[in-house]
Amino acid sequence: MDIQVKKLESSDIDSLIDLIELFEDVFEMQQFVAPERAYLQRLLKKDSFFVFVAFVDDAMVGGLTAYMLEQYYSTKPLVYIYDLAVRNEYQRQGIGKRLIESITEHCKRAGVEEVFVQADEEDDYVLDFYRATGGLPEKVVHFTYPLN
């Protein structure tokens, strides 16, 4: 299987929309309404937002989104992987690993200090995936403050 990974450019808005629809499907998001195209286009133009997508035979089968975070402890930024998904029928075929390799290589070249991602403690499959791709787990508790 020939897996091609591409970092989206600001002109790749249709691919970003396709990826969001892939996320909606894989994450089984109910009644999700995506932001307007103009908003997504502005987001895609930001230097601090990264999108990597994976293709097999010209079909998008996975992708990830990430944000660069400037620090005050170091001059080197951090990158936070926000979402990563691979279509169910393509999972366990090395696509997610290729996506992780692509973003970490990109970040090394860009002088990023560290890439990090969160995973639910109950999701053994995801935890095993991140361990298998070289991720080092940390025990943390995530708190949210809903504002709506």
Give 142's pLDDT tier (boundaries 50, 70, 90): confident
53-89, pLDDT tens digit by residue?
999 999 999 999 999 999 999 999 999 999 999 999 9
pLDDT tier at 148, thresholds 50, 70, 90? confident
Residue spans of beta strands (DSSP E) within the chain: 3-7, 49-56, 59-69, 78-86, 114-117
26 vs 102: CA distance, rounded Å: 21
CATH number of this structure's domain 3-132: 3.40.630.30
Mean pLDDT score, 41-50: 97
Mean pLDDT of the chain: 96
**CA-based nearest residue to 83, from 144, 29, 137, 134:** 29
Q: Quick one: pLDDT band at residue 97, thresholds 50, 70, 90?
A: very high
- Residue 141's pLDDT is 87
